[in-house]
Amino acid sequence: MSNTVTNFDEIAHSLNCAVLDPYMFGLIDFFPYIFCYLMGSIPFGLILTKIFVKQDIRSLGSGNIGATNVLRTGNKSLALATLLLDALKSGLSVLFIMYLYSIHLPEACVSEQIYHDMKNAYIGLTVGLFAILGHCFPIWLKFKGGKGVATGLGALLVAAPYAGLAACLAWIATAKITKYSSLSALIAFLIAPIITLFIYGSAPAAICAMITLLIWIRHKDNIKRLLKSEEPKIGQNKEKQKKEDSVEPVSK
């Protein structure tokens, strides 16, 4: 047992925030990945709009199942509920997996706070990535899902809290200034890996960068519209619809 403790201490010191081997903590097991993917694949936006609005959210606006598109129904409460549930499904699943690994790892692995934070962030972001994949490519909807923003923020807040908080603040600030939901998400997830690198180390930052890449790829159409100044702002579609409804009786 003493040899095991010594080995883990040597690993902790020698790594010094270098890239971790996923086999070290048993991440090769399939359960965490499958569990987080399935949790992430729950389409709360679709479920809530079918129950309360009696519509298929995929037939409205952008066809996305996320909170931004739910907002286009005009129901702010439903959009907020979708946002929170999408964040919670990833946050809680990541928290659960991190707890499982924490009770199975030798105490020597958490003897230093920096190493402890790095390990937790690495494990949390790794399984969090699969929760985001579940949201973006849900098996129940023929792999046609959302863009992973709320789900990604939920995973970040649990796995790498400082990076998650910075991303949330960046989203709020950008949305307040520009009124573009997509641009806010792009900037938020661009900042996240940088904060993760400085606070949690290179291994968690590498996983966070993968999450950022996925989010950016899912926003490729939004990026094209932003470059052409054709991207609708938050609430713009709703306002446009109101104008069309008010003009329609006159045309008749």
pLDDT tens, position by position, 43-66: 999 999 999 988 888 888 778 899
Q: What is the pTM of this model?
A: 0.80
Say which residues have a Cβ less than 8 Å from residue 229's Cβ, sequence separation at least 6. none
pLDDT, mean of residues 86-106: 85
Per-residue model confidence as pLDDT tens digits over 125-153: 999 999 999 999 999 999 999 999 999 99
pLDDT, mean of residues 9-23: 43
Q: What would the DSSP string read from start to end of 51-79?
A: HHT-S-GGGSTT---SHHHHHTTT-HHHH
Model confidence at 102, pLDDT cuts 50, 70, 90, reads: confident
Q: What angle do CA 134, 74, 246 make, to 5 degrees?
A: 140
For the chain, domain boundaries: 26-241
- Token look-up 């409205």 returns 60
